[in-house]
Amino acid sequence: MSPKQSLRTGLKLDQRPALLGRLRMADWIEMPEREFAKEVETIEKDPLFKRLFFGSDNAPGVIRRQRWPRGHLTGSFYEINDQVTAGGERVRVEETLGEKASLLPKIRKIGREAFERYFINGDEPLTLPEIARRTGLSQADVEAINDMLLELGAQAEFAMPKREPSMARSYSCLARLSLAGGEPEFEFFSAHWARGLYQVRYDLIEQWKDQGRLEDVERRKLNKLLKRIETVNLRQSTVFRIVESLAQLQSEYMGTKEGHDMRPISLRQLARRLDLAPSTISRAVSGRSVLMPWGKEISLITLLPGRRRVLRTILGEWLAASEDPTDAALADRLRSERGIKVSRRTVNAVRNELHKIIAS
């Protein structure tokens, strides 16, 4: 083998772990929400995760939760009575939850504030017995409620309003979007989204090791579990950053519901804004949707309209309400009123497209 061939082979071997890492993350990004929820369930039902999360009286938990800014669990969760919407069909809660349906009255009894504090937010290092003491529940009920929330994660429609069949078949709806003080808010439909990211205290993990709190079998499993948690965090933060950016970019449209207020932005532009690969953006928006403030569910890709589509919407309205303005006048108006800089030639091309649509 020549030195040149040897160098090439060495480079390929060096690059292989990074390439495999990117491919693995790509699989996690486009993983359907139901499948991802099962991965979260597997992690959180692992006995080692439970030990690390809840800790004990003399050793605080080493894993906390870090909520999304302006994110919370949907209020619809607390309004569940005898029926919920799932996959476009009405089903009874008892059929969906089985034996865990008996937990719903207990959740209502402790109240929304306590429920979110101890079962969703999880930002205090509390043991299971302490959560039981504070809520007045048995420890068995505390564990059962946690398990129920994990199992419901695979049923994103559980606390959603009735969905259109076509959307329910093709998309996982992540959250209801709204505006508060001009900033987007996110009302998540699944507990694993409302809970945010895992926050791992690596310094406390080292203390656990030094103090001999981990058994040999747990030490062997620890790195694999932590790596999986890091992967879940990276996947969730990537998808959330994309949803958050789209909500911020389209805040004017969210406030007016008018199509002409939608901001033109391409997949590549968003990728540059977030310092992500366009392929990552494409995978993240595929098969996912959000509920708009006025109650309409739309795919995430709808919030990424190319400039041509936005121009057709705006010029279509202007031309219908005006007496044949010139292309130059329309280009000036686009720049002054919408902040969209286009040439007279582009305006003319879009105008011809609209004429063909009307004529067809």
Q: Please give the full DSSP string across 206-241, using - where no structure is assigned.
A: HHHHHTT-S-HHHHHHHHHHHHHHHHHHHHHHHHHH
108-121 pLDDT per residue, tens = 899 999 999 999 99
The most confident of the ranges 90-104, 159-173, 286-300 is: 286-300
Residue 132 tokens, joined: 């039981």
Q: Which residues of 239-256 are buried (b: 16+ CB within 10 A; e: fewer)?
A: bbbbbbbbbebbbebbee
Share of the chain above pLDDT 70, in %: 82
Q: Is the pLDDT of residue 15 over 70?
A: no
The answer on pLDDT for 17 being more than 90 is no
CA distance 285 to 308: 20
Residue 90: strand pairing partners:
85
Q: Identify the pLDDT of residue 359.
A: 67
Q: Tokens 């968003």 label which residue?
A: 270
CB atoms within 10 A of CB 74: 22
**Which sequence spans correspond to the domains of the chain?**
24-303, 307-359
Amino acid 237: pLDDT: 95
Identify the CA nearest to 231 among candidates 189, 206, 197: 197
The amino acid sitting at 270 is: L
- Average of per-residue pLDDT values in the chain: 83
pLDDT value at residue 197: 96
Has residue 127 got a pLDDT over 50? yes
Q: What is the pLDDT of residues 65-78, one digit of tens each?
A: 999 999 999 887 77
Closest CA to 156 of 147, 146, 145, 167: 167
Q: Which residue has the tokens 């890091």?
A: 230
Mean pLDDT for 314-329 is: 76
Q: Which of 165-174, 228-237, 257-266 has the highest mean pLDDT?
A: 228-237
- The residue with greater pLDDT, 150 or 316, is 150
Among the listed residues 200, 153, 197, the one whose alpha carbon sits nearest the alpha carbon of residue 49: 200
Q: Which residues contact 63 (CB under 8 A, 6 or more apart)?
A: 49, 52, 53, 198, 199, 200, 201, 229
Task: Report the DSSP pairing between strands 172-180 and 288-291.
Answer: parallel
Edge-to-edge strand ranges of the sheet holding 297-299? 71-73, 183-188, 172-180, 288-291, 297-299
More reliable by pLDDT, 95 or 49: 49
323 or 266: whose pLDDT is higher?
266
Residue written as token pair 């579990």: 225
Residue 95: predicted pLDDT: 57
| % pLDDT > 90, the chain | 51
Q: Which residues touch 127 (CB under 8 Å, ≥6 apart)?
A: 54, 55, 56, 57, 61
Dihedral of CA atoms 86, 92, 97, 103 in degrees, nearest 10, equals 120
Average pLDDT over residues 42-69: 93
Rounded to an integer, the average pLDDT of 163-185 is 89
The confidence score (pLDDT) of residue 156 equals 53
- pLDDT for residue 22: 65
pLDDT, residue 326, reads 84
The per-residue pLDDT for 58 is 86
Q: Is the pLDDT of residue 176 over 50?
A: yes
Judge whether residue 7 has pLDDT over 60.
no
Ranking 231-235, 288-292, 338-342 by mean pLDDT, the lowest is: 338-342
- More confident: 24 or 83: 24
Residues with Cβ within 8 Å of residue 171, at least 6 apart in sequence:
287, 288, 289, 297, 299
Cβ–Cβ < 8 Å for 99, 151: no
Contact by Cβ (8 Å): 194, 72? yes
